Structure 1
Amino acid sequence: MVVLLGVCGLTSYFLVADERKGRDARAAGGPAAAQPRDITSQAVDPAPLTVEEVFPTADLVINPKEPPYQVLKTEVAPDCAGAAGGGIAELLGGAGCTQVVRATLRSPSGEYLLTAGIFNLVDEAAAGRVHEGIKPLVAEESGRFQGMVAGAGTEPVVHSSGQVGWHFRGHFLAYAVIAKATGDEIDPGDQHARQILYDVIELHLRGTVLERRATVADGEAGPAAATQPGS
């Protein structure tokens, strides 16, 4: 069973996280001379995501005063259905999903495992529809995000009950599924699990990775203007 945290847009979690506005500010700041870039569709933002863009290092630092998240395994794949199941896979296919970049990580304390990433959809409207359509599927257990095994001891991220979160920005959908490393069930009120979802989805994937894609500093071409890599 997947525990639904009321995470559609992470709305309920924002009520908890409002007390940590200083942490939001770390991810929200961009280059002083940055200009906005349109990321509302693949037509205007055609460059595919890369592992180097989404998970550039083996250590993912969210708070410099705390230990990093360990990136155990990364993957970029054109088959979005491989990272989701049931109705969510169908939603992604209908939204023109062309790729997913994901990673399996270990939390700073070592107590949690999570698989997180970004789906690349055709446009912002499609991303919004997927975002809204996921909650009932998860609640009814008719769709799920798939965890990714990253070696011995990481099986709980695939097989155990967990919590999920997702949010969109532009034509991208960021998500994470989290489980305890022991395989034990996560309590629905577990604040550590909620913090991890917020750290990875809101601060890293949306607030850092997609923020960079949505801005361009003076004199930089940025990913939207880059030559697409070969397959």
Structure 2
Amino acid sequence: MVQRRWHRFAGRHAHTGPRHARPSGISELLARPQKRTWQAFTTGLGIFAMLGVCGLSSFFIVADERQGRDAQASGAPPQVSVLRDISSREVDPEPLTPAEVFPGPEVVVDPARPAYRVLATRADRRCATAASGDIGVLLTDLGCAQVVRGTLRAPAGGYLVTAGIFNLDDVAGADWAREKIKSMVDGEHGRFQGLRAGKGTEAIVLSSARVGWHVRGHFLVYCVTARADGRPIPPGDAGAGQILTDMLELYLRGTVLEKRAVVSPSP
């Protein structure tokens, strides 16, 4: 009797079980299409992104090929810069000229700023005319063959400027001069000479001028700056510092000697 009752209970339980399990089966059936839809969406999104990347890459390739064809059709060769050796006067024998150093009435260092106005230019074979004392002797001993210089009026601040280039034998001599000149200037055993450019420019030849110098190749570049009213330039003067940077780094080294050191071959 006990076993028979148990079997009846078990049968009733087995019969009623599926009725309660039916909702979960329906939920599973409903979830499967949603899962397939999400998988299809993410798969499609990945394919779309991949096609977008491939399409963009193809666009760049086609654009590059099109530019190459256009360049060939126009007959314009690619611009190639070739370096010219300016390490010595032996390999760079062409002398400097005022037209090379100061080709126009103005010196434009930065198109966003006003230009420097060129007042006078001069070329000398005797380098001692632009450097006095021990500096002149040193440059002569190092084989200085010429100096080209010019006097300019700065666009602001009432400054006068003399900037120039000494043409030495080789880069070793130029580097040696750069190192030795500082002690000569500090000890007042020599100085760079400003170039007078008519009335109102007398201050450029005064001893109170600010000076700077640098080298590139076998050339020594220098700059003399003075106030047009003859007053001394105070230490740390921002205007004078900007002039030295403009003339030495940006113009004489970065423009004039850059053109001499870099050759753009003709087609």
Whole-angstrom CA distance in 2 between matches of 1:182 and 1:64: 27
- Which residues of 2 match residues 27-46 of structure 1 at below 5 A? 32-46=79-93
Aligned residues: 190
Matches of 2:205 and 2:135 in 1, distance apart? 16
For residue 166 of structure 2, the aligned residue among 119, 127, 148 is 119
Q: Distance in 2 between matches of 1:108 and 1:32?
A: 34
Pick from 224, 230, 236 the counterpart of residue 183 of structure 1: 230
Q: State the alpha-carbon separation in 2 of the partners of residues 54 and 89 from structure 1.
A: 21
Using the alignment, how far apart are the partners of 2:87 and 2:157 within structure 1? 36
**Does 2:130 align with 1:83?**
yes
Deviations 1:97-119, CA, capped at 9 Å, x for gaps: 00000000100015100111000
Secondary structure of the residue aligned to 2:100 is: helix
- What's the CA shift string for 1:155-207, capped at 9, x where partnerless? 00002501111000000000001000010000111011000000011100000
Query: Where do 1:121-160 residues align within 5 Å?
Result: 121-160=168-207
Looking at structure 2, the residues matched to 200 and 32 of structure 1 have their Cα atoms a distance apart, in angstroms, of 28
- Which position in structure 2 is the counterpart of 1:165? 212
Deviates most, 109-118 or 44-53: 109-118
Residue 203 (structure 1) aligned to one of 233, 246, 250: 250
Q: CA deviation at 1:39?
A: 0.2
The answer to whether the 8 Å contact 2:97/2:148 transfers is yes
Q: CA RMSD in A?
A: 1.3
- The aligned amino acid for 2:177 is V
- The DSSP-based 3-state class of the residue aligned with 1:179 is strand
* Structure 2 unpaired stretches of 5+: 1-77
Q: Distance in 2 between matches of 1:75 and 1:34?
A: 31
| TM-score, length of structure 2 as denominator length | 0.69
SS at match of 1:122: coil
Written as runs of structure 1 = structure 2, the 5 A alignment for 1:13-28 is: none
Tell me, in whole angstroms, the C-alpha distance in 2 between the residues paired with 1:100 and 1:170: 15
The question of whether the paired residues in 2 share the 8 Å contact of 1:103 and 1:148 is answered with yes
**2:239 maps to which of 186, 192, 198:** 192
SS at match of 1:144: strand
Instruction: Quote the Cα distance in structure 2 between the aligned partners of 1:107 and 1:173.
Output: 22
Equivalent of 1:72, from 112, 115, 119? 119
Structure 1 stretches of 5 or more lacking a match?
1-30, 221-231
C-alpha deviation, 1:219, in angstroms:
2.6
TM-score by length of 1: 0.80
Q: CA deviation at 1:128?
A: 0.6
Structure 2 residue matching 1:72: 3-state secondary structure: strand
**Residues 160 and 185, structure 1, Cα contact 8 Å, conserved in 2:** no
Instruction: Give the 3-state SS of the residue equivalent to 2:176 in structure 1.
Output: helix
One-letter amino acid of the counterpart of residue 139, structure 2: L
Provide the identity percentage. 56
> Alignment partner for residue 101 of structure 1, among 137, 148, 158?
148
Structure-2 residue corresponding to 1:25: none
SS of residue matched to 1:97? coil
Output the CA distance in 1 between the equivalents of 2:167 and 2:206: 26
Moved over 6 A (4+): none
Could you tell me how far apart the structure 2 residues matched to 1:140 and 1:163 are?
A: 15
Q: 1:144 to 1:32 in 2, by over 3 A?
A: farther
Q: Which has the higher contact order (CA 8 A, sep 6+)?
A: 1
Contact 2:157 2:239 in 1 (8 A): no
